[in-house]
Amino acid sequence: MSTTLPQRTRGHPLGAELGPVPMSLPRRVSVRVPVLVATALLLAAVLLGISIGPADVPILTVLGVFVSHLPLLHLHSGASRLDQAIIWQIRLPRVVLAGLVGAMLASGGASYQGVFRNPLADPYLLGVAAGAGLGATIVIVSGPHMTELLPLAAFIGAVGAVTVTYLVGANAGLRASGASIVLAGVAVAALLTAVQTYLQQEHSQDLQQVYAWILGSFNVATWSDVLLILPYVTLSAVVLLAHRRLLDVLRVGEDEAGSLGVHATRVRLTIVAAATLGTAAAVAVSGLIGFVGIIVAHTVRLTAGSSYRVVMPVSMIGGAAFLILADLVARTAQAPGEIPIGVVTAFVGAPFFLFVLCSKRAQQGVR
């Protein structure tokens, strides 16, 4: 017979000769080392951020002030009242705020990249930036007496934009797919940006102020800003961390996640809602700081592995460290002037990211 006939081979190579089941378990995703490294980086960033400024406070003094506040120890730091004031009232709120915003933008970016399975997704993908920008612009052009409403307006604008995006995108097409939501996000962002640009041109006297807000800054950071966003950021961080394993399940796509018992659309909605809430709160007090959401998560992926059990916590800690350091550069590089922090994140972050990208591409293939 001329046709090639696949023969059934009774003795399969994987069959009977297999010995007893080995007990070497597959290793756990190693989370501890990356988390420790990122935490060390964060501590260093916090100390540097508090220590360096127009009036330098030595790092040992900073440490002394912290230790003196530890309960039960009754140590005296020996720091001057001025140093204490600089640390507690000026530097620390700014460092903490930058840390919270950085943690939120980085983990928000990682989450969006996960649920939309798109490496270019950042936390502004579904219209957070455009909505917050429009909200802030409306307040700024309405007159100087309204400025205390700016964070609220930016927050409402951001949450509102994403809500519209999600409602439109999830109802488009036969079934809710990630792609239709992303496309709806592009359209909503374009619309809101157009309105914002129009308002901006109509009130050109406020152009500088709007522009400054869009580039982002922490130069008026206070403890009240920290308290303002802390509940949202905490809630968001807890929800995102809790979903880190499910984000790994979503990596095999909606259908297969469904066949594994995960309700993909529901998980996606929860993650997007949490990420949006946190990002909107962050943006409301910091302005639109770009690039953090993309580079931090990808740097973690390239250096520590792509499982969200690593990416989520390490992005959170690493994002905080990154933005604290970026803010340090922003306020010291051209002292007494300040560079917009968005410029620093891109100017420092982009070359660093390209370096990581190039150095890791060569050694892919093994864990």
Partner 1 sequence: MATTKVPSLSPSAAPPVPTTGTSAGSAVVRLCGVTVRYGSTVALRETSEWADRGEWVGVIGPNGAGKTTLLRSVARLTSYQGHIEIDGVSTAGLSRRHLARLVAYVPQQPELPHDMPVADYVLLGRTPHIGYFGADSEADRRRCAELLARLGLEAMADRYLGTLSGGELQRAVLARAVAQDAPVLLLDEPTSALDLGRRVDALELVDELRREWGLTVLSAMHDLTLAAQFADRLILLADGEVAAVGRPSDVLDETLLGHHFGARVRVLRDEGELVVVPRRSRSTPPLGDRGGHDA
Interface ranges with partner 1 (CB under 8 A): 1, 3-9, 12-15, 18, 21-29, 174, 242-243, 245-246, 248-249, 251-253, 255-256, 258-263, 301, 306-307, 309, 364-367
Name the minimum Å distance from CB 24 to partner 1: 7
Name the minimum Å distance from CB 300 to partner 1: 12
Number of neighbouring beta carbons within 10 Å of residue 200: 19
Question: Please, which residue, 269 or 339, has the CB nearer to partner 1?
Answer: 269
Question: What gap in Å lies between CA 139 and CA 146, rounded to an integer?
Answer: 6
Name the minimum Å distance from CB 293 to partner 1: 20
Name the minimum Å distance from CB 212 to partner 1: 40
Longest Cα–Cα distance of the chain, Å, equals 98
Write down the residue that tokens 């400054």 correspond to.
Answer: 212
- DSSP H or E run through 186: helix 178-202
Question: Please, which residue, 55 or 179, has the CB nearer to partner 1?
Answer: 179
Question: What gap in Å lies between CA 268 and CA 262, rounded to an integer?
Answer: 10
Question: Please, which residue, 203 or 309, has the CB nearer to partner 1?
Answer: 309
The token pair at 341 is 């922090």
Question: Please, which residue, 56 or 256, has the CB nearer to partner 1?
Answer: 256
Question: What gap in Å lies between CA 254 and CA 246, rounded to an integer?
Answer: 11
Question: Please, which residue, 57 or 249, has the CB nearer to partner 1?
Answer: 249
Name the minimum Å distance from CB 117 to partner 1: 8
Name the minimum Å distance from CB 347 to partner 1: 29
Instruction: Identify which of 322, 266, 282, 279 has the alpha carbon closest to the alpha carbon of residue 299.
Output: 322
Q: Give Cα separations from 239 to 108, 111, 267, 270, 364 (angstroms).
A: 11, 11, 11, 8, 31
The token pair at 244 is 């880190």
Question: Please, which residue, 13 or 336, has the CB nearer to partner 1?
Answer: 13
